[in-house]
Structure 1
């Protein structure tokens, strides 16, 4: 379900004041091997689960798109150049996490993901019991939801373990929102080293956290009020 992502949304202060967040059970960190992390766009995996990735020390990444449509109408970069920039930013972010990884770049169109093809591609990378982390199927962004559905199908077909991470839900949802599966929420508490690694990895995406230029079409996609939601000392997974 597409949600309006405008304005400042639910503030991080509102989320941190919600007592329920402290009561969610911890996610047991017992994967049978490196998980497969599926990201609709470069930076989704970092915002959602960079702390978990660095704590585990190894994780393979499926980059579904290259994020070339993040700034439609940009006065600075054409889409093909922005795609190359975002690929390089992902590589740098993973280097900063010091995670052993293989990156699978699928090159699907940003904003036009083929769900059937993606489910088939993911099924070839999954095995029974393998952890597979992806954007939540109800996240409110069409690409995030398409990727979440495709991943859920691939996990069901292979016996892999589906784990979902919210990104834009923190913007449009609110504490106790009945549209969010809070009963499935699990915490991943991040030690200081993991928090620092995640912050460094987020900073590896200047094309998203800073304006590309002065025009409105080149504004930052991840301004400070958005980044605040991903500077928490914990991450949230829907199990």
Structure 2
């Protein structure tokens, strides 16, 4: 997450408001098996370590359960999340967040072999968008399902990654879906209608929810459970609440 746009300020839309959201409740509910039907591989593209778990940690588990190969492409290391912090420097954060990602993958039933890290600069992915799209296109094959952030998520890195992944998938004949992360912060839960013409809620079983929540705790630098942070974490409790639902939303 990190380096956010002006729309992502304050506490944002609370989970209690999403619980009462008419247009969110009206989205069709489907099982993950249905979404994954025909997929040869699930490729999850993540702007920063944690976005892949928050956005589709349940879908990754469902793919593994079906014997579908899962690959996570971690575009940046999220090293810019605490700018100018005297102790949590960019180098320290880069190392810590890579370790956290591996721990999170283990909680979901995977290991480091399921992760490819690209090391693009956190907060500046848009400057490398063309190269990112080309890199992804070189990795993809027809039959892949590519899942990446919503192209209007409200964070510049998320949107650039979403655009690059969509372009790569189209060029390779791969299927593509998008997941919202920061959109839950700034979208209006009380609006008459939602922003997506095509979206669905992916149901998560109790075990899948538990594994996802455990994976979320791996990102200690983001939740604030590390020493010497002395400032508001990127993922405080009111943000984490949005990703403890019994479902995930996929767009497309």
Query: Does the alignment reach a TM-score above 0.5?
Result: yes
Give TM class, smaller chain. over 0.9
1:13 aligns with 2:28: no
Q: TM-score, normalised by structure 1?
A: 0.93
SS at match of 1:59: strand
SS at match of 1:183: coil
Deviation at 1:152, TM superposition (A): 1.1
Cα distance in 1, alignment partners of residues 21 and 124 from structure 2 = 36
Partner of 1:110: 122
Partner of 1:158: 172
Deviation at 1:23, TM superposition (A): 2.7
Partner of 2:156: 142
RMSD across aligned C-alpha pairs, in angstroms?
1.9
User: 1:32-111 residue pairs with structure 2 within 5 A?
Assistant: 32-57=39-64, 58-99=69-110, 102-111=114-123
1:186 aligns with 2:189: no
1:233 aligns with 2:236: no
Deviation at 1:80, TM superposition (A): 1.0
Please list every run of 5 or more consecutive structure 1 residues that lacks an aligned counterpart in the other structure: none
Moved over 6 A (4+): none
SS at match of 1:237: strand
Q: TM-score, normalised by structure 2?
A: 0.88
Cα distance in 1, alignment partners of residues 146 and 38 from structure 2 = 10
Cα distance in 2, alignment partners of residues 33 and 209 from structure 1 = 34
Residues 48-81 of structure 1: CA distance to partner in whole angstroms, max 9, x if unpaired?
A: 0001111211410000001100111112221011
Residues 125-147 of structure 1: CA distance to partner in whole angstroms, max 9, x if unpaired?
A: 11123100000000000000010
Aligned residues: 237
Please list every run of 5 or more consecutive structure 2 residues that lacks an aligned counterpart in the other structure: none
